[in-house]
Amino acid sequence: MSALPVLPSERTLADSPESDQALASLLESLLAIAVATAISGLMLLVAGHDPLNAFAEFVDRTLLRSAGLQEVLVHTTPLLLAGVAVLIAARAGLWNIGIDGQVLVGALSAAVVGAWLVGANRPVLWVGAVAAALIGGAVWATVPALLRSRWEINEIVTTIMFNYVAISLTAWLVKGPLRDQTLVASQTPLIPPALRFASLGDTRVHIGFPIAVATWLVAAWWLHRSVAGFELRAVGGNPRAARHAMIPVIVVLGAALIASGGLAGLAGGNDVLSTKGAFQAEWYPGYGLSAFALVFLARRHVLALLPAALFLGTLAYGADVMPRAAGIHSAFFSLFEGVLLIVLAAFRWRPWRRLGGGG
């Protein structure tokens, strides 16, 4: 099975964002948010909530309070990393739907190495655990990457399957061989708060956020200003032309998926080293599909990732506080993101253009 080809029109749309297109994309994203808000607000109404009241409460808790804003940045951090991961694969023409599995493996690796380095000083622990997260996620993406690049086995199915393998494998490891026997709950040894990512000033925001932003900036530079990034985009744009230009397509595809997995692993490591402190059984953040909502809200444009991540981070924190603040179950926010993705997918339809032209 070869990779599912992307429509030529989509390639040109993604690869040459001109200024008027950027404006159109921004308007489309805002419109998509409005449509998704309307549809899910209707769902709230049907379920017997007051949507306007809930919306006011949501804005108040997340954006109008200092503590809320800090938490939004905390929740944005892993999403931004996962979004960069999805985007790098997408720009190479790959669908990395295995983010969730890579996050889990990266988080477990960071938790194990971090707990092992508890005796060392803080920076050593951070570097070691972050490297472990990166490697863990990358390793977890290696098999789908090899199958895709070497044997042309579609990465969509294999990365999804690897999510479920990762869920079971990490659950087994943390309930069995890697469990901290001194604790009642199934989890790895706890990294003490004093050794986790340092907070920025007096806030809840920790150094994970600037690290994620720096990663994003480096990725943006790398994707658009480096030879390797150019090769990656060339392969994603037109693999046949890339092959004729002597670009090693197989290597680029494999490396892109592995790099994407490493970044996803970093998102998992960030959570362990900041808010969680350990890998717990049954922990499943589900960043993967949110990251897809993020990347397509950003219209696959790397610079738009940060604002899109801030928006989804706001939603993620909303999912944390709204159950207690307004009695709205956190699953509502998955519903919202799903509707948003559907609307964004449908926005390739532009009635004012000829259908044959696509776009």
Phi-psi region at 358: left, alpha or beta (left = phi > 0; alpha = psi -120 to 50): left
Is the CB of 225 or the CB of 354 nearer to other proteins? Answer: 354
Instruction: Determine contact, residues 133/110, Cβ cutoff 8 Å.
Output: yes
Does 140 sit near other proteins (CB under 8 A)? no
Question: Which residue in 196, 216, 217 sits closest to 207, CA to CA?
Answer: 196
Residue window 275-314: x/- pattern of binding to other proteins, with contact defined by CB under 8 A:
--------------xx-xx--x------------------
Count CA atoms within 13 Å of residue 336 on its CB side. 24
Does 250 sit near other proteins (CB under 8 A)? no
Does 125 sit near other proteins (CB under 8 A)? no
Does 122 sit near other proteins (CB under 8 A)? no
Q: What is the chain's alpha carbon radius of gyration, rounded to the nearest angstrom? A: 21
CA distances from 249 to 85, 135, 235, 258 (A): 19, 23, 6, 14
Does 139 sit near other proteins (CB under 8 A)? no
Q: Residue 280 pairs with which residues in a beta bridge?
A: 187
Does 345 sit near other proteins (CB under 8 A)? yes
State the minimum distance, in angstroms, from the CB of residue 118 to other proteins.
27
At residue 342, what is the residue type? I
Rule CB under 8 A: choose which of 108, 253, 321, 340 binds other proteins: 340
Is the CB of 70 or the CB of 158 nearer to other proteins? Answer: 158
CA distances from 241 to 154, 229, 356 (A): 20, 16, 23
Does 248 sit near other proteins (CB under 8 A)? no
CA distance 261 to 85: 7
Residue window 32-71: x/- pattern of binding to other proteins, with contact defined by CB under 8 A:
-----------x---xx-----------------------
Is the CB of 211 or the CB of 319 nearer to other proteins? Answer: 319
Is the CB of 122 or the CB of 348 nearer to other proteins? Answer: 348
Rule CB under 8 A: choose which of 66, 201, 227, 349 binds other proteins: 349
Rule CB under 8 A: choose which of 35, 153, 198, 310 binds other proteins: 153
State the minimum distance, in angstroms, from the CB of residue 322 to other proteins.
11
State the minimum distance, in angstroms, from the CB of residue 198 to other proteins.
34
For 233-301, give the DSSP string.
Answer: HHHHH-HHHHHHTT--HHHHHHHHHHHHHHHHHHHHHHHIIIIISS-BTT----HHHHHHHHHHHTTT-
245-283 exposure pattern, b = at least 16 Cβ within 10 A, e = fewer: eebebeebbbbbbbbbbbbbbbbbbbbbbbbbbbbbbeb
Residues interacting with other proteins, by CB under 8 A?
A: 1-2, 4-5, 7-8, 10, 43, 47-48, 95, 97, 143, 147, 151-154, 156-158, 160-165, 168-169, 171-172, 175-176, 289-290, 292-293, 296, 329, 331-346, 348-349, 354-358
